[in-house]
């Protein structure tokens, strides 16, 4: 399952309305600035999509996927159940599954493949992130070039 959505690399500080934005190819023009428009790709394997859909059980809720400061490498993934997207969230939808992504996490999640693994020692969602320049041995946190916050050692 491949989910694609356009997102703004540098969203305006004010709330957007159709009157505020004009599109020109891969760019949009805000009140007085030109911003780049990018297509975000987030892929879910069939198993991951199945597990997330089953977990939500037709509740009309969605999954918020974000990247937060933390973990031993600096960034870690966060997943939460959400009733609805926030005003500036990106909404990725496929069949009955809704995924909400905040605009700050979007560049760090662009190109990510979310898989579901089952094993003797570990079961759950696994993120395969092409933006990660390093990952921790625990597999729960990552670095993304020079923008990564300071990590906290694993406990």
What's the pLDDT tens digit per position in 133-145? Answer: 888 877 678 888 7
Confidence of residue 16 (pLDDT cuts 50, 70, 90): very low
Instruction: Note whether residue 16 is domain-resident.
Output: no
Q: Which domain range does residue 60 map to?
A: 42-147
Neighbouring residues of 81: CB distance < 8 A, sequence distance ≥ 6: 56, 61, 62, 63, 64
If you search the block for the tokens 């933390």, which residue do you land on? 70
Note whether 6 and 38 are within 8 A (CB): yes
User: What is the predicted pLDDT for the residue at 5?
Assistant: 46
Supply the pTM of this predicted model: 0.71
Helices (H) and strands (E) in the chain, counts: 2, 12
Instruction: Note whether residue 22 is domain-resident.
Output: no
Instruction: Note whether residue 14 is domain-resident.
Output: no
Instruction: Note whether residue 11 is domain-resident.
Output: no
Instruction: Note whether residue 113 is domain-resident.
Output: yes
Provide the pairing of β-strand 34-44 with 2-8. antiparallel
User: Angle at CA 108, nearest 5°, toward 106 and 114?
Assistant: 90
Structural domain count, the chain: 1
Instruction: Note whether residue 130 is domain-resident.
Output: yes
User: What is the predicted pLDDT for the residue at 21?
Assistant: 42
CA gap 124, 74 in Å, rounded: 21
CATH of the domain at 62: 2.60.300.12
């Amino acid at each position: 399952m491949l989910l694609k959505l356009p997102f703004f690399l540098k969203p305006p500080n004010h709330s957007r309305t159709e009157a505020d934005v004009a599109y020109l190819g891969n760019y949009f023009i805000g009140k007085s600035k030109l911003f780049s428009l990018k297509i975000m790709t987030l892929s879910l394997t069939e198993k991951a999509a199945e597990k997330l859909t089953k977990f939500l059980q037709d509740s009309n809720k969605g999954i918020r996927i974000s990247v937060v400061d933390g973990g031993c490498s600096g960034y870690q993934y966060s997943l939460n159940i959400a009733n609805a997207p926030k005003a500036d969230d990106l909404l990725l939808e496929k069949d009955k599954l809704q995924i909400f992504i905040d605009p700050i996490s979007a560049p760090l999640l662009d190109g990510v493949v979310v898989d579901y693994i089952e094993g003797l020692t570990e079961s759950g969602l696994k993120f395969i992130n092409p933006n990660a320049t390093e990952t921790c041995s625990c597999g729960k946190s990552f670095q993304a070039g020079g923008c990564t916050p300071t990590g906290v050692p694993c406990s």
